Structure 1
Amino acid sequence: MPQLSEDDIDRLARKRAGAKLGWYVHAAVYLVVNVGMFAAWQFGLRSRPWSAYPVLGWGLGLVLHGLSVFVLGGGSAWREQLVQRERDRLRREQDRAARR
């Protein structure tokens, strides 16, 4: 990773912290809304367990959001390895084109 200035470090840290905070807010809203839907089903609309469908669908979205923030997001080791491989590949292509 190239040397970063203090401003670059601060900007990157804020961006990453904002992404993580966004996921935590998403998870909190998910829990509150789905507990409310479960309560509505349990104490009122008891015809079928309809609340399972939004829980599963939104849960999948929450998992994908978490993967994008914590696994694939900036700073993850796997992402950094992929970025480095792409940099190396582009440099090799550039060197080959310059030799022609």
Structure 2
Amino acid sequence: MEYIMKKEESKYIKAKKRVKEIRDFYGHIMLYVVVCSAYIIFNLGYLDNGRISQYFPWWTVFTMPLGWGIGVTVHGLSVFVFKGSPLKKWEERKIKEFMDQEQRERLK
């Protein structure tokens, strides 16, 4: 009975961790959209009548959003496509191994 309860708790903890990963990704996207929009608007010169934008080539406006966009894409892939890195899988195997070892020691 105790093992079943622990198994249910484990499922709950995994589900809670998964929801946190997804929530963090959506927060990352929201921050990306807000910051990049402000960055682009400022660097295109809409706020200062083009004074700042005359000093930089036009393509530099998009370098930060592009680089950060690659990071957001990788974050999204790790959350939705790959659903965990090899390090996470190793951690789960080790946790299971230690739990099994503890269970065997209790039964002795």
Same topology, TM > 0.5: yes
Task: Determine the structure 1 residue equivalent to 2:53.
Answer: 46
AA partner of residue 36 (structure 2): N
Whether the 8 Å contact between 1:34 and 1:51 is mirrored in structure 2 is: no
**Superposed displacement of residue 19, structure 1:** 0.6
**Superposed displacement of residue 38, structure 1:** 1.1
**Superposed displacement of residue 8, structure 1:** 0.9
Aligned mate of 1:10, from 12, 18, 21: 12
**Superposed displacement of residue 52, structure 1:** 0.1
> Over residues 35-85 of structure 1, what are the superposed CA-to-partner deviations in whole Å (9 max), with x where a residue is unaligned?
0001101213222332200010000000000000000115xxxx9xxx7xx
- In our comparison, the structure showing a higher alpha carbon Rg is 2
Q: TM-score, normalised by structure 2?
A: 0.61
Q: TM-score, normalised by structure 1?
A: 0.66
2:64 aligned with 1:59, yes or no?
Answer: no
RMSD: 2.2
Structure 2: 5+ residue stretches without partners: 90-108
Task: Determine the structure 2 residue equivalent to 1:34.
Answer: 36
2:102 aligned with 1:73, yes or no?
Answer: no
Aligned residues: 75
Identical-residue share of aligned pairs (%): 30
Structure 1: 5+ residue stretches without partners: 84-100
C-alpha separation in 1, matches of 2:74 and 2:23: 15
